[in-house]
Structure 1
Amino acid sequence: MPSSRAPWWLFVMAASFLAYFVFATYCRFWEPESEGFQLGAGTGPVVLLGVVPNSPAAKAGLEAGDTIVSVNGQRVQSFADWIPFRANLEVKHPLQLEIERDGRKLRPVLTLTRRVWTNLQLAGKVRLLGWTGAQLLTLILALLIAFSRPRDPVALLGAWLLATGASFDFVAPRGRVAVWRELPVPLSLLLWAPHISTYVLGGPIAFTFFANFPRRLFRRPWVCVLVWALALPAGVNSLLAQYRSTYHPEQVAGLSAWAVRMLSLLIAVGFVGGVATLVANYWILTELNERRRLRVLVVGSSAGALSTVLIFIAGALKGFASAFAQSLPVQMVSLVVFLAVP
């Protein structure tokens, strides 16, 4: 009879995801304050769409319509170039900007302080606490599944998928890479496994699990192999950019915009494609208990994802839609759905 004891590598993976949760939570609650400007997210020049009054950007003299040309001497050509600078923001370490305004070149200095919890609106606090609580519960569930069935490949795939959900952030906290860089080397290396699992392999993991639960849908493995192979080009580019941003912050510009879009697309396609395979599997299976398990997984995954999206698109809405989406009752209902249904 095969041993039911958990292998050593499972303890290492569990420790890495626990460490990543603590790390991400620290960064989320103690990140630098908002820069105070809104950037255009296209592939062209980085233009300020708006500046918040009395914000660090306003105090630095930035105005709507300004174009960011460089940051700390590194040229910024698109929004994708700004992402690693945002991840490297540090409290009281000023950013030397070069901007273009009406044909003139200006060099304002942007200085940030630590974000103050009491300055957050109630809806923002609810989102922050709710998201952290949801991630903690998801991670606990992942660990319970992994260590209760350590020799079951499908159970481990499901636990891995849950653990990536517990490590995912729609928008990474400001200064996360700067904090990562200051960690002791062993801990810094430990964080790479959850990071790669979540932001590079999340889509393939989701698709592979859904295609094998509760029974294998595809007789030949080439479909899952193809999904994993599609993630490699964008994944390698993303890893190189993340490594450079973390350990060589003086060379952070140049993250490929296509890689960012491709990784986001792969995660979305992997999740949606995985749910589609669940539905296909549902109509093939005849055993009632297996069909019930699939119904729970389909409804839970869909409801949890939709409620999470509602929470995080609230800030992008305007007018009544924004006020409604950011209202406390809607936030609380969405969080309860996210926590309870999956």
Structure 2
Amino acid sequence: MTLTSTPSPAVKEPAAHGRKTGRAEFLVGIGGQNISLIGALVLVLALFGILNDNYLSLSNMQVIAEAATITGLLAVVQTVVIICGGLDISVGSQVGVASVVSAMAFTSAGSNALVGMAASLGVGLLVGLLNGLVIVYGRVNPTIATLAGLAAYKGLAQLLSDGRAQGYVLNNDAFIFLGRGKIAGLPVMVWLLVIVAVSVHLLLKYTDIGRNVYAIGGNDTAARLAGISINKYLVAVYALIGVAAAVAGILLTARTGSGQPTSGSEGLELKAITAAALGGCALKGGKGGIGGTLLAVALLGCLENGLTVEGINSFWQNVAQGALLVVAVVIQQRRSGARAVGLPH
């Protein structure tokens, strides 16, 4: 007896399976969180594009990009802080201090932009280090420590400026270039955000420093046993966000033409944290990425601009941001399987 076999339709299944696997791998690479953000962004753009013919114009997209730059800078570095298991809710006030110092130092030095920017960066570094030292060596909860900083740095900015805008920097080419210049058709501010975001992404993804940051946020006990100097890393990430706030303060000064103690900086901490959380950062630490954060920044920027263009009360922007933050945290809790408060496991 001879045995013969006939081709079966099942032979083609591996190819189909391979195509499905390829699509699945592609979707996993993008990330479910990012896919949701892309969908929400497209929906917002389509909605406001229908409501207003000029919303999707190139000039308005540029306005959105410029307005989102300062939030983006803070959100990118806030992402690092959150991944490391920390949180900084004082960044808005830090931006106000940095903005005032940059303008006042610029004026005092005879319209020397380098002196103004250097002074601002120095103050940002010192403020960030102070936050880190209080949290690490004072053993103060990051939320409490930076909440105190939120009030203290806001008061400092108002004391230094007497509560008023300081100086005038738009008679200087360097500040004009930062605030209004373009390179290859894109605002300098946007290029700066791109450079910072790419640098931080590469740091987190491809270096030992980045891996250690994730390890500390994921399990600080295991990280300590592995020989990672947790205290040094925590102080360093708070110093880093202090420098980022200083850069944001300089850009705020360049955009507005003067040092702003509160205008333009109030609420930035909420925007930065909301963007990081929407972008997939676990507020408990150990998880997150720069790509998701940037998508969330774009979503918030487009939403804010759309509400403004439609003449909707600006107070609704705060309502929307707060609601988005709650939604992001609820989704995180659901995905992590955390039990509801007051209910058994």
- TM-score after normalising by structure 1: 0.23
Larger relative contact order, structure 1 or 2 (CA cutoff 8 Å, min sep 6): 2
Structure with greater strand percent: 1
Q: Which has the higher helix share?
A: 2
Structure of higher CA gyration radius? 2
TM-score (norm 2): 0.23
